Structure 1
């Protein structure tokens, strides 16, 4: 099985999710440090659509200026553009497999798609 994790090594939930994925035998894992290599707005839109959530639900408000910028109430295109410009606004970790996409908060949500 292939899996991609959009990972922030500074986040304990992201590290725990990555560790869970690394323990799965035979998994072909791609790790994307999204703060260094942010996904495009199109990729983010696809990830959120496949996860069944809105970009606003994938927005990190803790320790960011998202609320001050009005992003929780903004339209999808505005939120996605802000995330691409300022990737710290992306809530993490996002994991994509052939079975779907999950925002793995808590990290156990990854089991739904492996």
Structure 2
């Protein structure tokens, strides 16, 4: 059985679409609702290293305390940004997916297809009606 982990926010459409594409590949992933169970600092650092991003690149602005905390200010060190992301997990952009083929921030959600070990098991349409995988199993 292939191990896949998704750091998921069920209130996020991109995250829901990503989770659905993982399931459409025939795998039930480990789902970590990171707002309820934030990663440790070490885990977040490992995810960033695997993705190849600096902490600032993983910050989410929309619907977060980004502006109130003045996170656009360059004064914040990477270590301080990690601490503030863990104190306010809503600042961590999502979804992050780990598979044996790699780790990605899956925005847009179709990026997950590049790291899924299994092909899609049928057509897939996003919540907004956008077709991602057609009825022939081809990526659109």
| 1:49-86: CA deviation from partner (whole Å, max 9, x where unpaired) | 10011111111111212133232432111111111111
TM-score normalised by length of structure 2: 0.76
Report the counterpart of residue 58 of structure 2 in structure 1. Answer: 58
Aligned CA-pair RMSD: 1.2
Report the counterpart of residue 78 of structure 1 in structure 2. Answer: 80
Higher CA-based Rg: 2
Where do 5+ consecutive residues of structure 2 fail to align? 117-140
Cα deviation for residue 105 of structure 1 reads 0.4
| Counterparts of 2:67 and 2:111, CA distance in 1 | 26
Of structures 1 and 2, the one with the larger relative CO (CA 8 A, separation 6+) is 1
| Counterparts of 2:87 and 2:109, CA distance in 1 | 26
**Stretch deviating more after TM superposition (27-36 or 61-70):** 61-70
TM-score normalised by length of structure 1: 0.92
Runs of 4+ in 1 over 3 A off after TM superposition: none
Where do 5+ consecutive residues of structure 1 fail to align? none
Higher helix share: 1
Cα deviation for residue 28 of structure 1 reads 4.8
